[in-house]
Structure 1
């Protein structure tokens, strides 16, 4: 379908109730989902869409802005606005204690991180309780945006007992590799998974709309002797991650 037919005023009007920008957004979403505008393909300029659909530029800009915030469209300065590539879902086993770097490597995906925080700080009440710390103890906090390919997948916030990782800035890749170098790699962990909605900051980092569904995971990891070493809180994109658990039927 060509742009003239796609953006006819009557097609926009047929997109249900609500303001005009919401109707146009629904039309664009349907066109992307239905393959009328393919991945990597440019959409018409906002001026062209406004003329074809008999809408104001402000209305078109608002609809396009919403889809950019949701990660459905990508603006490239000087080139235009394009349909974003779809996010491939990743399965992660709940029975293996591995790092994000190791998970992606097993799937043949390149991974990288953008550091948001690396610091040695006084522990919060939650960190003191979970890590078994006392007044005067310190924790190393590492927060980073986890990216697979070019897609931001998760925000990971790890707290490590300071004596086991006195210099968090020394961690450049896998946290577990860095702990293994200090003979402090955890061997088991417990995880609690819950559903939540992304706040404004998380949505911006993960390139989705605020309020989108996400998976919130708290992990507590243990050394061989049973000492807690790691308390990690992570937020995963709900549209990109599936957690899989193997269940066994007990023998009678």
Structure 2
């Protein structure tokens, strides 16, 4: 892997028509090797000292390149162990699962930082999204979803108050909080599109404004057809793969 990184670093240098800062070139080289599959999730990078020696770079340059890759979610650093390629999280479009379930299946520790868990009266737009009558109660959630220490998604969720009496019952998984009331959804409609993250969303995800992201809009339903959830989620584009299994007729 060290030789592959050295070759990619030198290739980028030879291909450039203008001089690029060394830390930017190293960052691009690592990024390219991750995208091409040469560097696999969980794989360790050479130590900072080895990178300095192999690429004839200063410790400050190498450290700056690696810290940028950590901030963008491509690498993780473990104290005393070094830098590793971050695990990408796969979410399937063929199963109705929660964010919490997905992370637990991959051995990650899900948690949430809430900015809002409130009860109010539906607005006209919220009433349309949830198929509620004017004057109905609605619970509003706004939170950042984490896998361990890494922020992975920013969510805004609406739930009919009649289906979830206490918003504080949601600690991590909304679906787990709905389960005791018999209101866990059985199907959902999802729309996904690529977006450039606005400044506030990017800040919450520790990314530069304009970074690539994925917007998923989900409406989830009970067996009797009632809408139990309307969620807009902004995911880091560098941390997620969405997978759909397709069959011919």
TM-score (norm 2): 0.73
Alpha-carbon spacing, 1:194–1:72, altered in 2? closer, same or farther (3 Å) = closer
Is the 8 Å Cα contact of residues 109 and 148 (structure 2) preserved in structure 1? yes
Structure with bigger gyration radius: 1
Output the aligned Cα RMSD.
3.7
Q: Secondary structure at the match of 1:96?
A: coil
1:126-170 CA-partner distances (Å, limit 9, x unpaired): 321111122211211112211113222111221101111232122
Unmatched runs of 5 consecutive residues or more in structure 1: 2-10, 54-61
Alpha-carbon spacing, 1:41–1:142, altered in 2? closer, same or farther (3 Å) = farther
1:149-160 → structure 2 map (5 Å cutoff): 149-160=148-159
Equivalence for 1:187 = 186
Question: Separation in 1 of the partners of 2:196 and 2:204?
Answer: 14
Equivalence for 1:17 = 18
The structural deviation recorded for 1:15 is 6.0
| Farther-moved stretch of structure 1 (233-242 vs 167-176) | 167-176
Q: Secondary structure at the match of 2:179?
A: helix
The structural deviation recorded for 1:246 is 1.2
Is the 8 Å Cα contact of residues 192 and 219 (structure 1) preserved in structure 2? yes
Equivalence for 1:8 = none
Question: Separation in 2 of the partners of 1:72 and 1:87?
Answer: 5
Equivalence for 1:130 = 129
Alpha-carbon spacing, 1:84–1:127, altered in 2? closer, same or farther (3 Å) = farther
Equivalence for 2:231 = 232
Unmatched runs of 5 consecutive residues or more in structure 2: 3-11, 34-38
Equivalence for 1:26 = 24
Q: Secondary structure at the match of 1:159?
A: strand
Question: Separation in 2 of the partners of 1:39 and 1:154?
Answer: 30
Question: Separation in 2 of the partners of 1:160 and 1:95?
Answer: 23
1:97-136 → structure 2 map (5 Å cutoff): 97-136=96-135
The structural deviation recorded for 1:124 is 3.6
Is the 8 Å Cα contact of residues 73 and 239 (structure 2) preserved in structure 1? no
| Farther-moved stretch of structure 1 (119-128 vs 195-204) | 119-128
